[in-house]
Homo-oligomer: A and B are copies of this chain.
Amino acid sequence: MKSKIVCIGDELLIGQTINTNAAWLGEILFEQGINVKESICISDTKEAIVDTLSNVGADIELVLITGGLGPTVDDITKQVLCDFFETELVRNEEVLKQIEAFFEQRNRGMLESNKRQADLPKSAIILENKIGTASGMWFEKKGVIYVAMPGVPSEMKKLVSEQVIPRLLERGVLPNQVYKTVLTQGIGESFLVEKIEAWQNQLLKEGFKLAYLPSIGQVRVRIGAEGKSKIELSNLIEQKVEELKKIIPEYIFGYDKQTMQEVVGNLLIQNNATIGTAESCTGGYLAHLITSTPGASKYYLGSIISYDNAIKSKLLGVDEAIIEEHGAVSEPVVIQMANALKAQMGVDYAISFSGVAGPDGGTDAKPVGMIWLAIATPEKTFTKLLQLGTNRKKNIAMASLTALNLLRLELIKALNL
């Protein structure tokens, strides 16, 4: 089944709102084995809507439309849909009751424009919006299904999950597809491709699908298969993942929707261990990353951010003579930072950084992108030197992810002792 996503709204076109609806829809359609051929944003005008609906493409069988269904006058979508599907708006008494109940429940007064939300196309199957006032509408025309939904993300998501997908499943039009994403860290896309080329070629030969999805500091490898039984497909993919794990064990940190900070957090819990951080050039980003996972207080105790060199001595007790001799961006300094943090906080593990995040502030000896990191474990303290680019944001993210991945490997070792 081939599909198209149509998002209506000027706020999307001119960048006032980032189109997260399209991404969410793309993901759920993809997971159901529905090919998303195109995703388009258009203006809230009759011309644009009619033009788009009239030209969805020859092989499209499903069109999901979001936006343009609010109670305000500039939302004209509903009338345009009536014209396109050659039907008319009629007041739906059942929906009107739901809207009235909606406002009553919230102790809010109801305007005439809210009542008009119960005026719905006669030929459409109405999909009840349980958390809002704009109903979903399911149309069919010449073998193509069109579903129009409100643009409010929570309302649209509920309609799709609870009504649109179940209706499609009922029809038996969805194929059996299974995907699994392998998350890697510490190796660039082109080096990864080179390392796993033989595996990749065999995989493609056997009819699997493969995609590389790079983002800052990570490359995701997505394996897909299509066939008759989902269980069988899952097993086939698992075998391929097992093969991959043997080729690049040190780079794989997780699967599918996991994040590095979650994986490390779970390993800390399994080790019954705590962690603290001593940041400098990363300026709190690592602390922020770790604490973006709810429940991080189980293992994360805190950080001393010594952005200024004097603070490295004053609060972390780094030897001033060492800073003078080697400079703040040096291996001896990050070792002292990690050890001091670990001792002061009484944590089991500590991560420290000192570097030149950029875009300026580099010297010949210590160029922008040079970042030292140290990891203190219960047994030892070790370091790594990164030589990154000039993009401050990227450097900070890369250093943080690299440190977490090194910590991850230590935590796995500790579990197996």
User: Which A residues are within 8 Å of any B CB, using their own CB?
Assistant: 10-20, 22-30, 36-43, 48, 70-72, 74, 106-108, 111, 113-114, 131, 154, 181, 188-191, 193-194, 211-215, 220, 222, 277, 279, 283-288, 290-292, 294-297, 300-308, 310-311, 314-315, 344-346, 358-361, 369, 387-394
Query: Chain B residues near A279 (CB, 8 Å)?
Result: 284, 287
Minimal beta-carbon separation of A226 from chain B (angstroms):
14
Q: Which 6 A-B pairs have the closest CB atoms?
A: A283-B291, A284-B287, A15-B27, A284-B284, A15-B26, A15-B23
Residues in B with CB closer than 8 Å to A11 are: 211, 213
A30 to chain B, nearest CB (A): 4
Using A11-B213, A41-B40 as known contacts, say yes or no to A290 and B301 having CB atoms under 8 A apart.
Answer: no
Cross-chain contact of A390 among B71, B131, B188, B291 (Cβ < 8 A): B131
Would B13 and A19 count as touching, CB distance under 8 A? no
Q: How far apart are the CA atoms of A361 and B25 in the complex, in Å?
A: 30
Could you give 19 example pairs across A and B, Cβ below 8 Å?
Answer: A12-B22, A13-B38, A14-B26, A14-B36, A15-B22, A15-B23, A16-B222, A18-B20, A38-B41, A70-B214, A72-B190, A114-B190, A131-B389, A154-B394, A283-B296, A284-B284, A284-B288, A296-B307, A301-B311
Asked whether, in the complex, the Cβ of A39 is within 8 Å of the Cβ of B13, the reply is yes
Pair B304/A302 contact, Cβ less than 8 Å: yes
Q: Which residue in B19, B283, B297 is a CB contact (below 8 Å) of A307?
A: B297
A106 smallest CB distance to B (angstroms): 6
Between A23, A191, A220, A314, the greatest number of chain B beta carbons within 10 A of the residue's beta carbon is seen for: A23
Complex contact A301–B297 (CB within 8 A): no
Residue pair A303, B301 in contact (C-beta under 8 Å): no
Given known A17-B213, A303-B305, contact A23–B27 (CB-CB < 8 A):
no
Q: Is the CB of B30 within 8 A of A14?
A: yes
Q: How far is the CA of A311 from the CA of B303 in the complex (A)?
A: 9
- The reply to whether B113 and A190 form a contact with Cβ atoms under 8 Å apart is yes
| Chain B residues within an 8 Å CB radius of A301 | 307-308, 310-311
Contact A302 B292 (CB under 8 A): no
Q: A189 contacts which of B38, B70, B108 (Cβ < 8 Å)?
A: B70
CA distance A25 to B346 in the complex (A): 48
Specify the chain B residue showing the minimal Cβ separation from A37: B43
Q: How far is the CA of A18 from the CA of B216 in the complex (A)?
A: 13
- Give the Cβ gap from A222 to chain B, nearest Cβ, in Å: 8
B27, A14: Cβ atoms closer than 8 Å: yes
Is B107 a contact of A72 with CB atoms below 8 Å?
no
Q: A37-B42, A284-B284 are in contact. List 13 more A-B contacts (CB 8 A).
A: A10-B211, A15-B23, A16-B27, A16-B181, A108-B188, A277-B305, A279-B284, A284-B286, A294-B358, A300-B307, A302-B304, A314-B346, A315-B344
